[in-house]
């Protein structure tokens, strides 16, 4: 079941990062090279203070010793920076690669999620996870791999070397250590909570942004700009509140950690200075010790940051992986189903028409389980037959089509295609045999030709042009400068509703399906264009199993049979003439239509009154 925004993942530990393992496994060689470079870089940094020790204790004894120690220091320094550069480069490469794989995996998974997922999960939230969570992961992962992992190793190494160099000076460090650990753990926990909420608010913000920009015309038409702006500001305010809380904790933690570290360092310097004054140790030993202490302190601070960023990283990983955990609408096996070659449709060659059978089909939408959308529908549609569905708005026409496309599974009963239950068929194979012309076609931001070719990318030019002509697309494309290559803008914004429907019809023609579903396919066309397209559709539907939903009598009157739906139930089926005699609901529908056709200028209200 899809997650609602209020059911976001709230896992509290960092183990979720372990789930990134499969994405690292394919880069094992790179990971080992990175670990090696990181160990070399950490080791070389730990040797550097020994150079300072030698210079101070032995370097001033002779010119030659000074020269050799300086040369050795230079070589060591070069090695350190080379390893550091290699480590950072490999870390970035590794981190970016893991994130790219994860992002592709989540995106392709999102493409296969069922209709029900997108009913409960806002698209803006999916986009937010794929953008802002991925960004956190990208920076977090490269940061953790780049610096923080080495800090842990350096800290341990520096502590061991401090112990070896001047164990008596460790006392101040030991005393402040529990406090440091406490501050870091506490602040890490707080930061994790805040950053998780921050991401949730960011997702809300993205979802609202997407909704507002998509619905910009409605917002402008209803002059809802001030309210939309206020809601946006409120979202930002909530987000900033979380950022502010997190930053406060972060700043306090940096201040407290820094103070404790400097307290310990000052005490060490004082105690160490006493030892030098009393000639117990040389200056070089104290300098090396203090350098190790400084290294330990910086590593500790960096680990504190790591704790905070790991929390953000864990949150982002969790939210991305939660999308991967959603159940897809079909298995990979279903996707690889045998598809078969679709014949060219330039001549409208009919693929052997299909028989469709609905056996006691009932369905309730998962988001509205109390109300049946379809109840106990049984219907046998002969190969090549055209059946029209009529009924009031909400009667269940589109739901029948969605069940056929297997966007949903019937709650009871089954649908058969040529005697085989569609549930048992590979999804791709089923959908290759169907084509839907929806009431509100989705047009993509590409050219007219590319939009049509989506139905069959391998179609040749003759097939494309035939579909264009049959669907009367050429009637408007010929008047455009770039003809079929004209870019139609986002969601086909530069086209009229009727032009978008003609593109959708051309897609269906090109697809050359065995079952054609016309769901109010010509509702946005004017009478002249509808008449012309009906002719084209007549060619397309002849001897092809066709299901039509339409409000206009002219569209359905020629159907072999008309199925009358009322509140999800099939109340009558028969020819136009037979239904006029036997079905009062249909008679009423036909009379209203006739009234409309005779006096199209009557307002809807007048028609209802009539
Ligand atoms: N995704 C959904 N979730 C919950 N209920 C839905 C969903 N889609 C449709 N419904 C409900 O199912 C019933 C049938 O809707 P459907 O869209 O099939 O009607 P229709 O006959 O195609 O209507 P129209 O002629 O207006 O397109 C309606 O009561 C509708 O509110």
* CATH at 508: 3.40.50.300
Question: What percent of the chain shows pLDDT beyond 70?
Answer: 89
Q: How far is the CA of 107 from the centre of ligand 1 (A)?
A: 29
> Looking at the predicted structure, is the pLDDT value of residue 540 above 60?
yes
The more confidently predicted of residues 606 and 229 is 229
Q: Is the CB of 196 under 6 A from ligand 1?
A: no
> Looking at the predicted structure, is the pLDDT value of residue 357 above 90?
yes
Question: Does 443 share its domain with 321?
Answer: no
Edge-to-edge strands, sheet with 372-381: 372-381, 356-364, 412-417, 420-421
Q: What is the pLDDT of residue 606?
A: 44
> Looking at the predicted structure, is the pLDDT value of residue 344 above 60?
no
Residue 392 included in any domain:
no
Domain final position from 512, 545, 561:
512
Question: Does 308 share its domain with 441?
Answer: no
Q: How far is the CA of 555 from the centre of ligand 1 (A)?
A: 21
The more confidently predicted of residues 51 and 433 is 433
Q: Whose CA is nearest to atom 29 of ligand 1?
A: 394
Q: How far is the CA of 365 from the centre of ligand 1 (A)?
A: 9
Q: Whose CA is nearest to atom 11 of ligand 1?
A: 373
CATH of the domain at 208: 1.20.1560.10
Q: Residue 13's pLDDT band (boundaries 50, 70, 90)? A: low
Residue 31 included in any domain:
yes
Residue entry with tokens 């010790």: 289
**ipTM of the complex model:** 0.96
> Looking at the predicted structure, is the pLDDT value of residue 181 above 90?
no
> Looking at the predicted structure, is the pLDDT value of residue 2 above 50?
no
Q: How far is the CA of 382 from the centre of ligand 1 (A)?
A: 26
Which letter does DSSP use for residue 603 in this model?
-
Q: Is the CB of 397 under 6 A from ligand 1?
A: yes
The mean pLDDT of 40-59, rounded to a whole number, is 81
Question: Does 78 share its domain with 201?
Answer: yes
Question: Rounded to an integer, what distance in angstroms lies between the CA atom of residue 6 and that of residue 9?
Answer: 9
Count of domains observed in the chain: 2
Question: Does 61 share its domain with 196?
Answer: yes
Q: Is the CB of 23 under 6 A from ligand 1?
A: no
Q: Is the CB of 343 under 6 A from ligand 1?
A: no
Q: How far is the CA of 400 from the centre of ligand 1 (A)?
A: 10
Residue 59 included in any domain:
yes
Q: What is the pLDDT of residues 467-481, one digit of tens each?
A: 898 888 988 888 888
Q: How far is the CA of 410 from the centre of ligand 1 (A)?
A: 15
The dihedrals phi and psi of 459, each to the nearest 5 degrees, come to: -65, 145
Question: Rounded to an integer, what distance in angstroms lies between the CA atom of residue 95 and that of residue 527?
Answer: 59
Question: Does 147 share its domain with 276?
Answer: yes
Which letter does DSSP use for residue 447 in this model?
B
Q: Whose CA is nearest to atom 6 of ligand 1?
A: 365
Q: Is the CB of 395 under 6 A from ligand 1?
A: yes
Q: How far is the CA of 393 from the centre of ligand 1 (A)?
A: 8
Q: How far is the CA of 494 from the centre of ligand 1 (A)?
A: 29
Q: Is the CB of 372 under 6 A from ligand 1?
A: no
Q: Residue 464's pLDDT band (boundaries 50, 70, 90)? A: very high
The mean pLDDT of 413-439, rounded to a whole number, is 88
Residue 538 included in any domain:
no
Q: Is the CB of 402 under 6 A from ligand 1?
A: no
Question: Does 122 share its domain with 267?
Answer: yes
Q: Is the CB of 367 under 6 A from ligand 1?
A: yes
Question: Does 309 share its domain with 453?
Answer: no
Burial 476-508 (b: 16+ CB within 10 A, else e): bbeeeeeebebebeeebeebeebbbbbbbbbbb
Residue 242 included in any domain:
yes
Q: What is the pLDDT of residues 150-161, one digit of tens each?
A: 888 888 898 898
Question: Rounded to an integer, what distance in angstroms lies between the CA atom of residue 579 and that of residue 559?
Answer: 12
Q: What is the mean pLDDT of the chain?
A: 82
Q: Give the residue, out of 361, 364, 373, with the most ligand 1 atoms within 8 A of its beta carbon, to mutate for a pocket test.
A: 373
pTM for this prediction: 0.70
Q: Whose CA is nearest to atom 5 of ligand 1?
A: 365
Output the CA–CA distances (angstroms, integers) from residue 363 to 165, 189, 403, 419, 430, in the order listed: 77, 46, 9, 21, 20
Question: Does 318 share its domain with 440?
Answer: no
Residue 393 included in any domain:
no
Residue 498 included in any domain:
yes
Question: What percent of the chain shows pLDDT beyond 90?
Answer: 13
Question: Does 311 share its domain with 452?
Answer: no
Q: Residue 387's pLDDT band (boundaries 50, 70, 90)? A: very high
> Looking at the predicted structure, is the pLDDT value of residue 607 above 90?
no
Domain final position from 297, 325, 353:
325
Q: Whose CA is nearest to atom 25 of ligand 1?
A: 393
Q: How far is the CA of 368 from the centre of ligand 1 (A)?
A: 11
Burial 321-352 (b: 16+ CB within 10 A, else e): bbbeebebbbeeebeebeeeebebbbebebee
The mean pLDDT of 537-565, rounded to a whole number, is 81
> Looking at the predicted structure, is the pLDDT value of residue 596 above 60?
no
Residue 263 included in any domain:
yes
Beta bridge partners of 416: 357, 421
Q: How far is the CA of 605 from the centre of ligand 1 (A)?
A: 23
The mean pLDDT of 523-552, rounded to a whole number, is 75
Atom of ligand 1 nearest to the CA of 115: 1
Q: What is the pLDDT of residue 604?
A: 42
Which domain covers residue 192, as residue numbers? 16-325
Question: Does 264 share its domain with 128?
Answer: yes
The mean pLDDT of 222-247, rounded to a whole number, is 89
Q: Give the residue, out of 389, 390, 396, 522, with the most ligand 1 atoms within 8 A of its beta carbon, to mutate for a pocket test.
A: 396
The mean pLDDT of 187-213, rounded to a whole number, is 82
Q: Whose CA is nearest to atom 3 of ligand 1?
A: 365
Q: What is the pLDDT of residues 85-138, one digit of tens each?
A: 998 899 888 888 888 898 888 888 888 888 878 877 777 778 878 888 888 888
> Looking at the predicted structure, is the pLDDT value of residue 31 above 50?
yes
Atom of ligand 1 nearest to the CA of 439: 27
Question: Does 154 share its domain with 275?
Answer: yes
Q: Is the CB of 393 under 6 A from ligand 1?
A: yes
Q: How far is the CA of 373 from the centre of ligand 1 (A)?
A: 7
Output the CA–CA distances (angstroms, integers) from residue 545 to 113, 152, 336, 354, 434, in the order listed: 29, 69, 26, 6, 10
> Looking at the predicted structure, is the pLDDT value of residue 403 above 90?
yes
Q: What is the pLDDT of residue 340?
A: 42
> Looking at the predicted structure, is the pLDDT value of residue 348 above 60?
no
Q: How far is the CA of 274 from the centre of ligand 1 (A)?
A: 86
Spatial CB neighbours of 445, under 8 Å, sequence gap ≥ 6: 487, 488, 489, 490, 491
Question: Does 291 share its domain with 146?
Answer: yes
Q: Whose CA is nearest to atom 30 of ligand 1?
A: 394
Q: How far is the CA of 403 from the centre of ligand 1 (A)?
A: 12
Q: Residue 342's pLDDT band (boundaries 50, 70, 90)? A: very low
Q: Residue 400's pLDDT band (boundaries 50, 70, 90)? A: very high
Q: Whose CA is nearest to atom 31 of ligand 1?
A: 394
Domain final position from 481, 512, 543:
512
Q: Give the residue, out of 391, 394, 523, 565, with the most ligand 1 atoms within 8 A of its beta carbon, to mutate for a pocket test.
A: 394
Task: Give the H or E element holding residue 573.
Answer: strand 569-574
Question: Rounded to an integer, what distance in angstroms lies between the CA atom of residue 471 and that of residue 484?
Answer: 13
Q: How far is the CA of 258 from the centre of ligand 1 (A)?
A: 62
Question: Rounded to an integer, what distance in angstroms lies between the CA atom of residue 298 and that of residue 97?
Answer: 29
Q: Is the CB of 365 under 6 A from ligand 1?
A: yes
Q: Is the CB of 396 under 6 A from ligand 1?
A: yes
């Amino acid at each position: 079941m899809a997650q609602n925004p209020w059911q976001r993942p709230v896992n509290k530990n960092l183990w979720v990062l372990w789930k990134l393992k499969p994405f690292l496994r394919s880069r094992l060689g790179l990971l080992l090279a990175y670990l090696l470079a990181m160990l070399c870089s950490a080791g070389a940094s730990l040797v550097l203070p020994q150079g300072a020790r030698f210079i101070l204790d032995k370097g001033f004894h002779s010119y030659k010793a000074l020269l050799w120690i300086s040369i050795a220091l230079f070589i060591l320094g070069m090695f350190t920076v080379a390893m550091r550069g290699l480590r950072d480069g490999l870390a970035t490469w590794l981190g970016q690669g893991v994130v790219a794989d994860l992002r592709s995996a989540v995106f392709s998974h999102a493409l296969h999620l069922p209709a029900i997922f997108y009913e409960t999960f806002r698209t803006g939230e999916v986009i937010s996870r794929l953008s802002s969570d991925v960004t956190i992961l990208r920076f977090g992962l490269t940061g953790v791999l780049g610096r923080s992992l080495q800090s842990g190793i350096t800290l341990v190494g520096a502590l061991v070397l401090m112990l070896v160099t001047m164990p008596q000076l460790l006392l101040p460090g030991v005393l402040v250590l529990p406090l440091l650990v406490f501050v870091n753990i506490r602040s890490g926990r707080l930061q994790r909570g805040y950053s998780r909420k921050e991401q949730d608010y960011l997702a809300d913000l993205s979802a609202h942004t997407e909704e507002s920009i998509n619905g910009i015309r409605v917002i402008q038409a209803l002059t809802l700009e001030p309210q939309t702006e206020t809601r946006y500001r409120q979202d930002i305010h909530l987000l900033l509140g979380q950022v502010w809380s997190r930053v406060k904790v972060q700043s306090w933690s940096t201040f407290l950690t820094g103070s404790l570290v400097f307290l310990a360092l000052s005490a060490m310097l004082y105690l160490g200075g006493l030892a030098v004054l009393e000639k117990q140790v040389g200056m070089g030993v104290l300098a090396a010790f203090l350098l190790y202490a400084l290294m330990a302190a910086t590593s500790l601070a960096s680990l504190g940051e790591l704790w905070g960023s790991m929390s953000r990283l864990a949150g982002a990983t969790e939210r991305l992986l939660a999308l991967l955990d959603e159940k897809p609408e079909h298995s990979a096996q279903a996707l690889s189903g045998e598809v078969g070659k679709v014949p060219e449709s330039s001549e409208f060659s009919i693929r052997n028409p299909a028989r469709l059978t609905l056996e006691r089909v009932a369905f309730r939408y998962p988001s509205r389980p109390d109300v049946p959308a379809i109840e106990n529908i049984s219907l046998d549609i002969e190969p090549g037959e055209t059946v029209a569905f009529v009924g009031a708005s909400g009667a269940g026409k589109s739901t029948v089509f969605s069940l056929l496309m297997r966007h949903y599974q019937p709650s009871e009963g089954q649908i058969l295609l040529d005697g085989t239950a569609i549930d048992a068929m590979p999804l791709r194979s089923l959908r290759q045999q169907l084509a839907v012309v929806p009431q509100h076609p989705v047009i993509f931001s590409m050219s007219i030709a590319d939009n049509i070719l989506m139905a069959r990318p391998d179609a040749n030019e003759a097939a494309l042009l035939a579909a264009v002509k049959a669907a009367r697309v050429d009637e408007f494309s010929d008047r455009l400068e770039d003809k079929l290559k004209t870019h139609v803008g986002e969601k086909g914004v530069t086209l009229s509703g009727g032009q978008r429907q003609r593109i959708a019809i051309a897609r269906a023609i090109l697809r050359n399906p065995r079952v054609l579903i016309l769901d109010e396919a010509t509702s946005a066309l004017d009478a002249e264009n509808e008449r012309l397209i009906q002719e084209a559709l007549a060619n397309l539907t002849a001897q092809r199993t066709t299901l039509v939903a339409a409000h206009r009598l002219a569209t359905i009157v020629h159907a072999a049979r008309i199925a009358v739906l009322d509140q999800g139930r099939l109340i009558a089926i028969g020819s136009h003439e037979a239904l006029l005699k036997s079905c009062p609901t249909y008679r009423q529908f036909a009379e209203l239509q006739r009234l409309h056709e005779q006096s199209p200028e009557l307002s809807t209200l007048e028609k209802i009154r009539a």
